[in-house]
Amino acid sequence: MAVKIEMLRCFCTVAQTGSLVEAADRLGRTQSAVSMTLKQLEDHLGKRLFEGERKNRLSPLGEQVFELALKQVRQFDQAVQSIEAAANAVQGLIRIVSVPSVAALLFPLVLEHMTRKFPGLKVELRDTDTQQVLDAMTQGKADIGIASGYHPLNGIKAVPLFEDQFGLVSAADHPLMLKAEPLTIADVVAAPFVANALCELIRTPRFLTAVANTDVTIHNTHSLITMVRTGAWVTVLPQTVARFIPESTAFREISDLPDKREVFLYIRERSRFRELTEECSNFILRTELL
């Protein structure tokens, strides 16, 4: 018997809840039906996915299967949502995925422009990191992507969008913000410093050496800003981030850090609604984000 997506969904729900009763209630099925589905999956694999009968502790194989199955269930649900959205998009559908620092500035403008120009248009907007932006483009889950750096992709055109300077981001009243002399890399890394994923785009050797010795890295931009707002930490981010950080936080250039982040617009060459993709991408290219 082949493994079906609903078998994986059932297993994931039981693994998440740790209870057949709770999983059955969440899935809208009887407890016996959920138990039978789990047994079918285990029989197919020839090994147990849970330790004991209470279903509240995964076996070593169960932990591995859970990680893989959860990813597949989420991808399946996203695909179904996209298919339904496309089917219901009488006036067309445009799907845009962007890194958060640009999405915060661009999405409101794009949404206003496209919905005004094309009444009834369906719009999907999503913000995520660069790698997932690229994945969405290559997997056909987005028509337009905005990501840091240039990455050649088959069937997708990459157009330079803008460059922005890296600099210090900290609490507005942090001593480094108030320092009269020009700020240097040495000043920044001497303070309690937290790294982030965008720091990987910086190539200045002195900065790279300092970041290699950093103990704390935060990948979520919102959590990162929350950390530096306390005044106990500082970080380095591109200047566009300064457009949407709270007033209690500020941006300042670093005199010996010349690096800039390059942001590219990725456009699917064969999208379902080509006119919409062209109009949207042209609008984005005309928009001044700095």
Locate 246 and state its tokens.
């709270």
Is pLDDT of 15 > 80?
yes
Tens digit of pLDDT for each residue in 19-52?
Answer: 899 999 999 999 999 999 999 999 999 999 998 7
Q: Which domains does the chain have, with CATH numbers?
A: 5-85 (1.10.10.10), 90-155+273-286 (3.40.190.10), 162-261 (3.40.190.10)
Tens digit of pLDDT for each residue in 191-201?
Answer: 899 998 888 88
Q: In this structure, are residues 221 and 100 in contact, taking their beta carbons and an 8 Å threshold?
A: yes
Q: Which helix (H) or strand (E) holds 34?
A: helix 31-45
Higher pLDDT, 219 or 181: 181
Q: How confident is the model at residue 268 (pLDDT cuts 50, 70, 90)?
A: very high
Q: How confident is the model at residue 181 (pLDDT cuts 50, 70, 90)?
A: very high
Percentage of residues in the chain having pLDDT higher than 90:
58
pLDDT of residue 226: 87
CA atoms of 257 and 189, how far apart (whole Å): 12
Q: Side chain identity at 66, as an amino acid letter?
A: F
CA atoms of 170 and 250, how far apart (whole Å): 6
Tens digit of pLDDT for each residue in 45-80?
Answer: 999 999 877 788 899 999 999 999 998 998 888 778
What's this model's pTM, rounded to 2 decimal places? 0.69
Going by their DSSP bridges, the two strands 156-171 and 235-238 should be labelled as antiparallel
